[in-house]
Structure 1
Amino acid sequence: MARADGRTRGNIEELPSGGYRVRVYAGLDPLTKRPHYLRETVPAGPRARREAERSRTRLLAQIDERKNPRTNATINQLMDHWLDVLDVDTSTKRGYVNKINKHIRPNLGNIAVGKVDVELLDLFYAQLKKCRDHCHGRRYVQHRTAHNHVCDEHVDSRCEPPQPGRCRACKRACREHRCKGLADSTVRQIHWILSGALSRAVRWGWIGVNPADHAEPPSLPHPDPQPPSPTEAARIVNDSWAHDPEWGALIWITMTSGARRAEMCALRIRHFDDENGVLTLGRAIYKDDNGELQEKDTKTHQQRRVVLDPESCDVLREHINRLRARVKKLDIDLSPDAYLFSPAPDCRVARNPDAITRRYDRMAERLGIKTTFHRLRHYSATELILAGVNVRAVAGRLGHGGGGATTLRVYAAWTSEADQRAAAALSARMPPRPDSKSGKPPETIDKSNAEPAD
């Protein structure tokens, strides 16, 4: 039998093994409303009793300084409560839920909130950077889907060597898992999710301090915008126009306005001021929890007006005329609330932003250009800055805040033409170059004794 050694505050029990169990009352659990105790076990040894006394003193000090965990709740319970009170956009919350379910719950979900420390978080981030599938070093076949499927779709014979760029069966074949870590930016997002949830746990009185404040996530990744080159941009525009004038108009306006894909999907006829050549960007399309397309504010919750060049205005006028001709076949008029880019004949349904991305990716793959739809914004910012447009004006067109800091740091790519102009400007300010033989400035060299030129 264990022997209890009572104290006014705290309890030390001697175990049959010769060790000691320390238990200190820490108030009511705010989640379960039951008594909450801090416990610690000291292994047997000649100084076990002394270590148990020190352990009790340390636990009491934590309680007095309010640095002790005040609940036995797990990370899973914390995430559930945090998501219930989280006030963010639906699309943002969906991204949080995906990262929580894929990365946080499988690795930290069953751990008590009070046992999460800096070391545990640092090890967790290192694991994410090593393998995004949390293989922990085990070998297995990585299937492409959880549904019933054929792992190898080759009917006659397999390609040797595999050709995933050409053969569809090779591309879709299940293969042995290879570790691939998460990007630093994704690990940082997971860190901020944990930090926000643990910060709320501190406010709720679940824990005394936030261990994420001292954890070290990956450093901020260096921005590396890679917009399409002017030649690639021309190929993209020409190909889009050749296949579908409406698709070509969407690509053209995205390039010249710098709008986001969700903002392009939310554009309506009334958002284009034909007389003044102004496009108003104030809404965005997103998918709700049921997968239905809905409208919301822009990413920065601000409305902005973008002036279009005459060529872009002509593109929109021609596009709207095509829409009028299309709806006229249905014996209806084109409403001012009709969407500028719509898959429906009556233009009353918005385009799916994900569908735009998929179509653009297929076009880029067909053209052999490594790019994404979002990099059209990079292209717009880079070309405007290269043309000498004020950074604040560029930031206003793109919908950035901070006086253009984000525009310069993320979206303005290095261009050789601008760098050549900078080199020429610096060269004009340099002093005359000394003669390579005499080491004297050119104006001090006596040219009377110089050898005549051939």
Structure 2
Amino acid sequence: MWGMASQRSRRTKVQRGVVATLSSGALRVRVDAGLDPDTKKRHRLTEIIPSDTPDEDAEADKARIRLVNEVHERRNPKARATVDQLLKRHLGDFGGAWSTEHNYRNLWANHVSPFIGTVKVGELDADILDSLYAELRRCRDHCTGPFTQHRTDHQHECDRRCGPHRCKPLGVSAIRQIHWLLSGAYRRAVRCKWVTTSPIDDAEPPPTPPMPQPPTTAEAARILNEAATSDLDWATLIWLTMTTGARRHELCALRWTDLEVDGEYAVLSITRGISKDADGQWAELGTKTHQQRRVTLDAETAQVLAEHQDRCRYRVAKIGLELAADAFVFSAEPDYGRFLTPGSVTQRYSRMAERLGVETTIHKLRHYSATELIKAGADINTVAGRRGHGGGGTTTLKVYTAFVSEADQRAAGQLQTRMPERDWTHADPVERAKTDPHAPYERIAAAIRTQVLSGALPDGAQVPTVKDLAKEQGASAGTVNRALALLRDWGLVREGGRGRRAIVVRPQQDWFEQAAAEDDAGTPAEAASPSGAIPLDLRLLYLGEEVRRLDANADRTDVEQLNRLLTGAARRYAGGDVAFGDYELEVRRGDSSELVTVFTAL
């Protein structure tokens, strides 16, 4: 017994770690840390002690002990992988949406890999991350000096879009997304035992902006009315965004089957969104938070949608079809059979806001809806439910908010009182373009209209060729063709036959147009009015339903006058080729609304 104990006490303890002298005189300390879980090779921790270090032997022994303790406490990195290798593995097994993965890969390639891609996963720390975030806030292009920034990397002729580079910081949202990308990747690294702790927890991404910046009520009214002057369908989409706070991809996915009319109110079910699928193709997928919700609409919004549905039915009927029950609410197709893409909505809204000089985005309309509801005293949980926020904090909010109809109806009524006045019920973009053209094709059409009315282009003359007009106006052939189509809607040109140019049709001025012109010139309008003219209340009927009202001084017994009024009103309402047999003109006295007659086209 004593002999065995004595033998154990004399056993020499094995020292872990090796200190070797290099040819330069420096000391290399190396400690074995086991197998690399990625490469399955031996992983060794190494530290170099320079030759000019005072008492280098003692320093080398301290380094060896420190590395051994790291191995014992499992604080050492188990892999030699770089940040690029970690992100490649992390995104290779990513289970999120295609658009999220695509965005992460772009951020990795453009902003992460150039700076920290070659850094070992175990060497990344909070100081390196803070330096990365500071660089991203300086310049999103990571410039090192002045240079000319071109609009494309391909061969091109420089224009106003090419010029000296101006530093622009990367957005706060993008930097925060980089932080969450690295955070998720390092959580995976900890699970795989590549590292024992994540350095991302010690770094601080830039905070989110403290206050939303929705447009003011005056700006919202300008945006709505500008949209209405160009396209009532577009104005309807803007209105619905402001009242429901729905996301753009949710609005693009709306079908008429999602709208349920319940008495005074209507209920909109938001269950889908337009996003890219695993193949990178646009498709109907789930919402951002993968939750369904029902939003109660106020009476005004329900009326806006009813008017929009009537317009859709009319357009589809013009091509000989019937609007499908599950047709998309917003579409660029004649039969409303395909959805709009979210990107096209954003681009169109941005161009409109820039034209108005309003600094806003379509996403901020969601802020407008929320802030106006809160100002009106709506419950916070109800606001969160209408906006589709997934982080409500309670099971009741997450699951049942969409079905709390009483609170939702109260919120809808509160929002209606704070919405800007809608002044676009009878807006007609075809008529508006005559005096207030916005788009390039409208300006070209208005210029040709002026030439026709002034006599510069006489009745029966041939319109210049598309090629000549494109060269004269500095526009594309497509823009000129759209201008000619608008002129046909105005009744100022007609087709000249196959292979022939369009023919000018100079309209005869109606007696009431002459009276207006003379009145503007200083001549009393009554002097030009025909005998028997009285104020009339005229109502245009399409297939028996009233679609427009107008007032005029006319002779109720003059068939020619009534025919011109009917055809002109129908053409302004429908545009393009009009089936006048589907229209009637209800003629009433202006002073008493007494029905005089119902006139049909000759």
TM value normalised by structure 1:
0.79
Q: Which residue of 2 aligns with 1:162?
A: none
CA distance in 2 between counterparts of 1:380 and 1:216 reads 31
Q: Say if 2:368 is the partner of 1:379.
A: yes
1:184-199 alignment to 2 at 5 Å? 184-199=172-187
Q: Name the structure, 1 or 2, with higher relative contact order (CA <8 Å, separation 6+).
A: 1
For each residue in 1:382-412, what CA deviation from the matched residue of structure 2 results, as whole angstroms up to 9, or x when unmatched?
2222222222222221112455999xxxxxx
Q: Say if 2:314 is the partner of 1:325.
A: yes
C-alpha displacement at 1:84, in angstroms?
A: 1.9
C-alpha displacement at 1:103, in angstroms?
A: 0.8
CA distance in 2 between counterparts of 1:287 and 1:87 reads 14
1:183-332 alignment to 2 at 5 Å? 183-218=171-206, 220-276=207-263, 277-288=266-277, 290-332=279-321
CA distance in 1 between counterparts of 2:102 and 2:47 reads 39
For each residue in 1:256-312, what CA deviation from the matched residue of structure 2 results, as whole angstroms up to 9, or x when unmatched?
111111110010010011345111111111134654211221122111111111221
Secondary structure at 2:321 match in 1? coil
C-alpha displacement at 1:63, in angstroms?
A: 0.7
CA distance in 2 between counterparts of 1:403 and 1:292 reads 31
Aligned-residue RMSD, C-alpha: 2.2
Secondary structure at 1:107 match in 2? helix
Query: Paired residue for 1:69, among 74, 77, 91?
Result: 77
Secondary structure at 2:303 match in 1? helix
Q: Which residue of 2 aligns with 1:102?
A: 110
1:42, 1:48 within 8 Å by CA — same for their partners in 2? yes
CA distance in 2 between counterparts of 1:280 and 1:117 reads 47
Q: Which residue of 2 aligns with 1:50?
A: 58
- Describe the shift of the 1:216–1:373 C-alpha distance in structure 2 as closer, same or farther (beyond 3 A): closer
Secondary structure at 1:113 match in 2? coil
Task: Mark the runs of 5 or more structure 2 residues left unpaired by the alignment.
Answer: 1-13, 398-417, 419-602
Q: Which residue of 2 aligns with 1:59?
A: 67
Q: Letter of the aligned partner of 1:337 in structure 2?
A: D
Q: Letter of the aligned partner of 2:203 in structure 1?
A: A
Range that drifts further, 224-233 or 184-193 = 184-193
Q: Which residue of 1 aligns with 2:445?
A: none
Secondary structure at 2:283 match in 1? strand
Q: Letter of the aligned partner of 2:193 in structure 1?
A: G
For each residue in 1:11-65, what CA deviation from the matched residue of structure 2 results, as whole angstroms up to 9, or x when unmatched?
2210122111122211111111111111111110342222111111111111111
C-alpha displacement at 1:108, in angstroms?
A: 0.9
Percent of pairs with identical residues: 50
Q: Which residue of 1 aligns with 2:33?
A: 26
2:327, 2:336 within 8 Å by CA — same for their partners in 1? yes
Query: Paired residue for 1:132, among 137, 140, 147?
Result: 140
Query: Paired residue for 2:332, among 343, 346, 357?
Result: 343
- Describe the shift of the 1:387–1:213 C-alpha distance in structure 2 as closer, same or farther (beyond 3 A): closer
CA distance in 2 between counterparts of 1:51 and 1:342 reads 73
Q: Letter of the aligned partner of 1:34 in structure 2?
A: K
1:83-98 alignment to 2 at 5 Å? 83-98=91-106
CA distance in 2 between counterparts of 1:299 and 1:360 reads 21
1:395, 1:404 within 8 Å by CA — same for their partners in 2? no
Secondary structure at 2:122 match in 1? helix
Q: Letter of the aligned partner of 1:246 in structure 2?
A: D
CA distance in 1 between counterparts of 2:213 and 2:201 reads 33
For each residue in 1:306-326, what CA deviation from the matched residue of structure 2 results, as whole angstroms up to 9, or x when unmatched?
111122112112212222222
2:148, 2:162 within 8 Å by CA — same for their partners in 1? no
C-alpha displacement at 1:145, in angstroms?
A: 2.0
Q: Say if 2:23 is the partner of 1:36.
A: no
For each residue in 1:203-245, what CA deviation from the matched residue of structure 2 results, as whole angstroms up to 9, or x when unmatched?
1011121111222333x23422222222221221112112111
Q: Letter of the aligned partner of 1:313 in structure 2?
A: A
Q: Letter of the aligned partner of 1:210 in structure 2?
A: S
2:82, 2:117 within 8 Å by CA — same for their partners in 1? yes
C-alpha displacement at 1:340, in angstroms?
A: 0.6
Range that drifts further, 95-104 or 326-335 = 326-335
Secondary structure at 1:187 match in 2? helix
Q: Letter of the aligned partner of 2:140 in structure 1?
A: R
CA distance in 2 between counterparts of 1:118 and 1:49 reads 32
CA distance in 1 between counterparts of 2:168 and 2:359 reads 21
CA distance in 1 between counterparts of 2:272 and 2:329 reads 13
Q: Which residue of 1 aligns with 2:359?
A: 370
Q: Say if 2:149 is the partner of 1:142.
A: yes
2:97, 2:277 within 8 Å by CA — same for their partners in 1? no
